């Protein structure tokens, strides 16, 4: 391959300390290099904004519940259809697009890496099958441990090392990337139709609390030296007054890692509510942002909601049932034996709903009140807050106070009594947006070690060139242009190949799946542990030998090996 | 050679604990399997080579010839239909969908004549379900509604429900109540704690009555609803509401009875209603092995679980219009590729007649009723015996089947990939 030379690029590369310089970028053999070969294809970036490929650190795009969201929603499939064109397959869907739909739309927005937010280990093979059909992004899978019986037993025994050993076996078996806890303890309680209402509630039968599960798993994660931290969906999602739970949870987090956070809090907008009912719900973004600002060992993502229709889907089964009771729209649920749960229900976030307007404000506030952009990543918890195609609009809202003021006129006029948003003057700049959409994700996920999230020599050549000239436009005023620019790259380059141009995908993709294997001493190898194997003999409905995901499901697997400190 | 933990390729239970003994390229013994599994493995009489109809006779042809002719027929057709898919594995189904996309064809799976209406109901009201282990470990009440697992899914009760001891239900047979609802006595109804015998076509009314009782409206229930006494309905509702964890399984007897998808909708809404009091789940008894996998694969590629029409360039779905039975009955389809199923045995007569009129090609290991309607048949390896790939259990748990020996036939994927390559080349 001749390689590529991008000339005249307006580069922001936060991890390399580049904060907006016009420079050239040379690419060869899928990597960024010092110098291009003489026959390199030259792309004139014409001083357009050039960033590392986008990384989504929390998105629901592949796997059992995502596909069930499609399965149960032909109306959503009809809402976003494209025909076969060139190398592009047919796509369907708006809030839960088909795998190719997700892949093409992300690619034309400059995204090259996505972390699937929740994979049930028992159904991991399904997630990996869909990863293969999402060909333009490298994929990673958060692996659910929130209701894992073996984990809860280890927590009960206060045996952190055993918990770590269970994680190591499971991640390796299901080719997962990181530990995900979704409403820890709550998904097991939901097995009986219940839930936990605080981090100190006991999980029925298992005699452990969410706080104990979270604390143990944070430590186990560090014993295994995993690239990412524990990735937590807090308890009490969507409940008025839940900011207390969130603050208590943040208060639990020790600082155990020099290179990254010790806990990743996802979709924090859904966890920053004051009040006690839907009538008096208000924003507690200031309290939560203050706690995050004072706790450098945590990172959060926004979980912004945007007005319009979408489909909610999460492993948090009890929460989805509550949402169903509220909306009476169709509802699906899928509990997974010994492991976790899940639920799905469509929602409409309306500008005329005060509650929705408060939620919309909170997400933006978190991003504007977090002092350090490395601690607050841009997300919608796709598709829970909104489909990811709304990211450009969120960027524009964060960069333009004028845009926010214009929106203020369109929403429920009472909103301003419940939220501080309109008193916040801050407008984010290009650099902060670059941090919040790629660099901070790479750092938080711990994947800079495999060349993700930056553009210095040696990095993976994942590059996005946007039709935006930072010297010429003022995002505070020209927010429409910002929105349009982030919606469609001029070029998306993935592993050194131009994969999308001006809104169209131009090649067939060949992605990688990134997973983690923590090597543990033989004494901690769960495959021969009698208690652990008994679970398969007696309680799972799948034989232990048939459980692990075979290598064939990862045609281009990238394994990150770690040595456990056990 | 003895091979352990083999995944059974017959029904939607996907039992994965079979022990199969193989000699050369023949299965000689199966342990842990039900009678259906044993027959699937042991009674395996294959068609040896591809065959083509020549006047009133069949002639043997080569694979290359059969594949080229199949591709030619599909390319010549204006309204091709690619039907079946439930007996094969996900990777082959994937190529099938891409083939349909390039051809502008209709692709449909056997849901069209089994749980298609269940899917339509789910699309209206959702589906509160769970994996089978959740039921095995927790359920103290299990309801089989218009399903006869003892005959259709022989190990369902022993692996997942009635006789399956679980973590919270140590002695399933004693601690777990089984209710069977059906229009007639069956082997399954005979072991039920409560058998509710409904008049044929009366399910919808029974479901409505139960919903009313659960909602606290006992007063409006007449003394007898579709052959069932009010007292029994009260009793059943009480058992359900007193359950710690209840699970409903429904069969095609509910899906395909009068009322069709409305029955399922009502059953799902009853389940939702019960969730306001306790924990309840509902699950279809998917019959044809990997039919659920074909729904999954179709869905992540096209957005729809079955009956997908690519004629407009986009994926279009409208059951009743784009479903195989309707396309065939209208005489609309002018070529049909059947893969891993037997519409000749299951479709209405008018549809089978149309299949016999048009060029129908079958990719299947065995001679079956569809063979008699076909122009060409291409025999392949049997998935789960001499071909491996992904299949989805009735509850959505995906498993990888094992290849027990190297047979002499190509598998579905190899044959379909060759057809796809020719079609892609021709379509540019």
- Give residues with Cβ within 8 angstroms of B361, minimum separation 6: B70, B73, B335, B336, B337, B338, B374, B375, B376, B377, B378
Orientation angle between helical segments B291-302 and A64-71, nearest 10 degrees: 80
Cβ–Cβ gap B304/A92 under 8 Å? yes
Task: Please give the CATH superfamily to which domain B116-284 belongs.
Answer: Dimethylsulfoxide Reductase, domain 2 (3.40.228.10)
Closest partner residue to A191 (CB to CB) among B98, B125, B134 is B134
Closest partner residue to B131 (CB to CB) among A72, A73, A336 is A336
Q: What is the pLDDT of residue A2?
A: 81
Q: Which of A410, A433, A449 is the last residue of a domain?
A: A449
- Is residue A527 assigned to a domain? no
Distance from CA of B362 to the nearest CA of A (A): 26
Angstrom distance (rounded) from CA A13 to CA A20: 8
Q: Which of A463, A490, A505 is the last residue of a domain?
A: A505
- Residue A306 clears pLDDT 80, i.e. is over it: yes
Cis peptide before A383 (omega within 30 of 0): yes
pTM of the model: 0.98
Length of chain B: 428
- Average pLDDT (A104-113) is 98
Closest partner residue to B390 (CB to CB) among A68, A125, A338 is A125
Q: What is the pLDDT of residue A3?
A: 95
Angstrom distance (rounded) from CA B54 to CA B46: 21
Angstrom distance (rounded) from CA A362 to CA A349: 14
A101 with A32, same domain: the answer is: no
Cβ–Cβ gap B132/A541 under 8 Å? yes
Q: Hey, is the C-beta of A327 within 8 angstroms of any chain B C-beta?
A: no
Q: Which of A427, A449, A471 is the last residue of a domain?
A: A449
Closest partner residue to B313 (CB to CB) among A83, A190, A338 is A83
A68 with A95, same domain: the answer is: yes
A18 with A107, same domain: the answer is: no
User: To the nearest 5 percent, what fractions of chain A are helix, strand and coil?
Assistant: 35, 25, 40
Distance from CA of A129 to the nearest CA of B (A): 9
3-state secondary structure at position B142: strand
Selection from B139, B33, B400 nearest residue A337 by Cα:
B139
Q: Which of residues 193-232 of A touch B (CB under 8 A)?
A: 193, 205
Integer angstrom CA distances of residue A518 from A168, A422, A513: 5, 47, 16
Cβ–Cβ gap B304/A77 under 8 Å? yes
Give the number of beta-carbon pairs within 8 Å between A and B: 180
List of chain B residues whose C-beta atoms are within 8 Å of the C-beta of residue A84 = 101-102, 313
- Average pLDDT (A282-294) is 98
Cβ–Cβ gap A332/B128 under 8 Å? yes
- Is residue A71 assigned to a domain? yes
Q: Which of residues 2-41 of A touch B (CB under 8 A)?
A: none
Cβ–Cβ gap A133/B301 under 8 Å? yes
- Is residue A559 assigned to a domain? no
Distance from CA of A552 to the nearest CA of B (A): 10
Q: Hey, is the C-beta of A74 within 8 angstroms of any chain B C-beta?
A: yes
pLDDT more than 70, % of chain B: 100
Q: Hey, is the C-beta of A322 within 8 angstroms of any chain B C-beta?
A: no
Residue A465: CATH number of its domain: 2.30.40.10
* B377 in Cβ contact with B344 (< 8 Å): no
A59 with A15, same domain: the answer is: no
DSSP for B354-380 reads HHHHS-EEEE-SS--GGGGG-SEEE--
Selection from A308, A253, A84, A44 nearest residue B313 by Cα:
A84
> Which residue in chain A is spatially nearest to B272 when comparing CA positions?
A331
- Is residue A530 assigned to a domain? no
A429 with A499, same domain: the answer is: no
3-state secondary structure at position A389: helix
Distance from CA of A509 to the nearest CA of B (A): 15
**Which residues partner with A85 through β-bridges?**
A88
- Measured in degrees and rounded to the nearest 5, phi and psi for residue A180 equal -115, 135
Question: Which one of B126, B240, B248, B424 makes the best mutation probe of the A interface by having the most chain A beta carbons within 10 Å?
Answer: B126
Both tokens of residue B355?
């299949």
Both tokens of residue A518?
């923590």
Cβ–Cβ gap B123/A332 under 8 Å? no
Give the CATH number of domain B48-114+289-427: 3.40.50.740
Cβ–Cβ gap A331/B272 under 8 Å? yes
β pairing state of A54-59 and A111-119: parallel
Angstrom distance (rounded) from CA B210 to CA A73: 27
- Residue A1 clears pLDDT 80, i.e. is over it: no
User: What are the pLDDT digits (tens) for B138-194?
Assistant: 999 999 999 999 999 999 999 999 999 999 999 999 999 999 999 999 999 999 999
> Which residue in chain A is spatially nearest to B307 when comparing CA positions?
A74
Rg over alpha carbons for chain B, rounded to the nearest Å, is 23
**Which residues partner with B6 through β-bridges?**
B18
Selection from B198, B212, B207 nearest residue B267 by Cα:
B207
- Is residue A426 assigned to a domain? yes
A406 with A372, same domain: the answer is: yes
- Is residue A436 assigned to a domain? yes
> Which residue in chain B is spatially nearest to A95 when comparing CA positions?
B303
User: What are the pLDDT digits (tens) for B297-347?
Assistant: 999 999 999 999 999 999 999 999 999 999 999 999 999 999 999 999 999
pLDDT band at A93 (very low <50, low <70, confident <90, very high): very high
Q: Token match 């452990």: residue?
A: A208
Give me chain A's average pLDDT, please: 97
A272 with A399, same domain: the answer is: yes
Cβ–Cβ gap A100/B279 under 8 Å? no
pLDDT band at A8 (very low <50, low <70, confident <90, very high): very high
List of chain B residues whose C-beta atoms are within 8 Å of the C-beta of residue A101 = 303
- What is the residue range of A199's domain? 54-116+129-144+194-211+235-449
Both tokens of residue B201?
């076509």
- Is residue A76 assigned to a domain? yes
Distance from CA of B317 to the nearest CA of A (A): 8
A341 with A486, same domain: the answer is: no
Integer angstrom CA distances of residue A115 from A61, A235, B123: 9, 21, 28
Q: Hey, is the C-beta of A87 within 8 angstroms of any chain B C-beta?
A: no
Q: Token match 């924090």: residue?
A: A268
The domain tally of chain A equals 2
Domain spans of chain B, in order of start: 48-114+289-427, 116-284
- Is residue A561 assigned to a domain? no
Which parts of chain B have pLDDT scores under 50?
A: none
Q: Hey, is the C-beta of A335 within 8 angstroms of any chain B C-beta?
A: yes
Q: What is the pLDDT of residue B148?
A: 97
Q: Hey, is the C-beta of A67 within 8 angstroms of any chain B C-beta?
A: yes
A314 with A369, same domain: the answer is: yes
A399 with A363, same domain: the answer is: yes
Distance from CA of A553 to the nearest CA of B (A): 10
A44 with A62, same domain: the answer is: no
Closest partner residue to A334 (CB to CB) among B129, B244, B315 is B129
> Which residue in chain A is spatially nearest to B314 when comparing CA positions?
A83
Distance from CA of B62 to the nearest CA of A (A): 30
A483 with A410, same domain: the answer is: no
Question: Which one of B169, B299, B305, B323 makes the best mutation probe of the A interface by having the most chain A beta carbons within 10 Å?
Answer: B299
């Amino acid at each position: 391959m001749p390689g590529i030379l991008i000339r005249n690029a307006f580069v922001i590369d936060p991890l390399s300390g580049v904060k907006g310089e016009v420079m050239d970028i040379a690419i060869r053999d899928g990597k960024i290099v010092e110098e291009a070969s003489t026959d390199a294809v030259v792309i004139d970036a014409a001083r357009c904004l050039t960033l590392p490929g986008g990384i989504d650190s929390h998105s629901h795009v592949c796997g059992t519940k995502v596909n069930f969201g499609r399965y149960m929603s032909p109306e959503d499939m009809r809402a976003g259809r494209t025909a076969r064109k060139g190398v592009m397959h047919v796509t369907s869907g708006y809030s839960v697009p088909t795998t190719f739909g997700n892949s093409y739309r992300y690619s034309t927005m400059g995204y090259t890496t996505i972390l699937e937010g929740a994979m049930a280990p028992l159904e991991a093979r399904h997630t990996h099958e869909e990863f293969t059909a999402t060909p333009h992004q490298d994929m990673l899978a958060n692996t659910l441990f929130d209701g894992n019986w073996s984990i809860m037993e280890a927590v009960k025994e206060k045996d952190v090392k055993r918990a770590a050993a269970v994680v190591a076996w499971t991640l390796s078996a299901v080719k997962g990337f990181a530990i995900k806890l979704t409403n820890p303890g709550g998904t097991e309680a939901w097995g009986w139709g219940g839930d936990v209402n605080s981090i100190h509630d006991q999980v029925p039968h298992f005699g452990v609390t969410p706080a104990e599960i979270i604390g143990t798993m944070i430590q186990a994660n560090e014993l295994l030296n995993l690239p990412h931290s524990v990735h937590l969906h807090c308890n009490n999602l969507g409940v008025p007054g839940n900011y207390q739970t969130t603050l208590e949870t943040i208060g639990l987090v020790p600082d155990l890692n020099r290179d990254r956070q010790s806990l990743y809090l996802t979709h924090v907008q859904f966890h920053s509510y004051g009040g006690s009912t839907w009538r008096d719900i208000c924003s507690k973004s200031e309290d939560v942002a203050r706690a995050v600002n004072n706790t450098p060992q945590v990172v959060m993502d926004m979980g912004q909601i945007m007005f319009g229709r979408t489909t909610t889907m999460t492993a948090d089964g009890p929460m989805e049932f509550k949402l169903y009771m509220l909306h009476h729209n169709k509802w699906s649920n899928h509990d997974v034996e010994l492991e976790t749960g899940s639920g799905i229900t469509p929602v409409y976030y309306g500008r005329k709903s005060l509650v929705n307007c408060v939620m919309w404000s909170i997400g933006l506030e978190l991003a504007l009140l977090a002092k350090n952009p490395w601690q607050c990543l841009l997300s919608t918890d796709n598709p829970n807050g909104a489909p990811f195609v709304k990211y450009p609009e969120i960027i524009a809202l964060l960069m333009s106070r004028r845009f926010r003021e214009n929106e203020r006129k369109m929403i429920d006029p009472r909103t301003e009594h419940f939220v501080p948003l309109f008193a916040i003057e801050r407008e984010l700049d290009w650099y902060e947006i670059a941090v919040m959409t790629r660099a901070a994700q790479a750092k938080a996920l711990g994947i800079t070690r495999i060349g993700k999230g930056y553009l210095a020599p040696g990095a993976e050549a994942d590059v996005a060139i946007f039709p935006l000239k930072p010297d010429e436009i003022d995002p505070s005023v020209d927010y429409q242009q910002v929105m349009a620019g982030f919606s469609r790259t001029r070029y998306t380059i993935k592993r050194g190949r131009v994969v999308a141009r001006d809104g169209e995908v131009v090649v067939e993709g060949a992605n990688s799946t990134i997973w983690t294997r923590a090597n543990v001493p033989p004494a901690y190898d769960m495959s021969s542990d009698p208690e652990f194997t008994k679970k398969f003999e007696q309680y799972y409905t799948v034989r232990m030998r048939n459980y692990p995901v075979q290598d064939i499901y990862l045609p281009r697997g990238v394994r990150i090996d770690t040595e456990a400190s056990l | 050679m003895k091979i352990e933990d083999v995944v059974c390729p017959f029904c939607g239970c996907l039992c994965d604990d079979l022990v199969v003994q193989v000699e050369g390229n023949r299965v000689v013994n199966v342990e842990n399997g039900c009678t259906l599994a044993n027959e699937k493995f042991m009674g395996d009489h294959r068609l040896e080579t591809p065959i083509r109809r020549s006047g009133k006779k069949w002639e043997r042809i080569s694979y290359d010839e059969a594949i080229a002719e199949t591709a030619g027929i599909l390319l010549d057709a204006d309204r091709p239909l690619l039907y079946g898919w439930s007996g094969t594995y996900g990777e082959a189904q994937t190529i099938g969908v891409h083939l349909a996309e390039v051809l502008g064809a209709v692709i449909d799976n056997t849901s069209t004549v089994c749980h298609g209406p269940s899917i339509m109901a789910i699309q209206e009201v959702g589906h509160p379900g769970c994996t089978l282990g959740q039921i095995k470990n927790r359920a103290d009440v299990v309801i089989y509604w218009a399903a006869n697992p003892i005959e259709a899914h022989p190990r369902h009760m022993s692996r997942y429900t009635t006789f399956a001891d679980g973590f919270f239900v140590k002695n399933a047979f004693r601690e777990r109540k089984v209710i069977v609802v059906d229009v007639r006595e069956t082997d399954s109804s005979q072991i039920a704690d409560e058998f509710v015998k409904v008049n044929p076509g009366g399910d919808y009314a029974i479901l409505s009555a139960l919903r009313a009782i659960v909602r606290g409206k006992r007063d409006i229930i007449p003394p007898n609803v579709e052959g069932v006494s009010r007292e029994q309905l009260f009793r059943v509702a009480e058992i359900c509401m007193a359950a710690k964890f209840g699970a409903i399984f429904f069969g095609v007897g509910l899906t395909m009875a009068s009322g069709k998808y409305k029955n399922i909708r009502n059953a799902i809404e009853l389940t939702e209603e019960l969730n306001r009091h306790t924990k309840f789940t509902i699950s279809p008894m998917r019959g044809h092995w990997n039919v659920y996998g074909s729904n999954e694969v179709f869905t992540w590629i096209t957005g729809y679980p079955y009956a997908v029409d690519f004629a407009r360039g986009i994926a279009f779905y409208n059951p009743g219009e784009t479903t195989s039975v309707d396309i065939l009955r209208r005489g609309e389809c002018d070529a049909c590729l059947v893969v891993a199923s037997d519409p000749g045995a299951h479709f209405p007569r008018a549809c089978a007649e149309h299949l016999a009129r048009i060029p129908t090609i079958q990719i299947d290991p065995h001679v079956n009723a569809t063979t008699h309607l076909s122009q060409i048949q291409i025999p392949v390896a049997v998935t789960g015996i001499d071909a491996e790939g992904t299949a989805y259990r009735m509850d959505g748990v995906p498993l990888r089947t094992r290849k027990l020996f190297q047979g002499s036939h190509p598998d579905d994927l190899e044959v379909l990939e060759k057809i796809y390559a020719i079609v892609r080349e021709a379509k540019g």
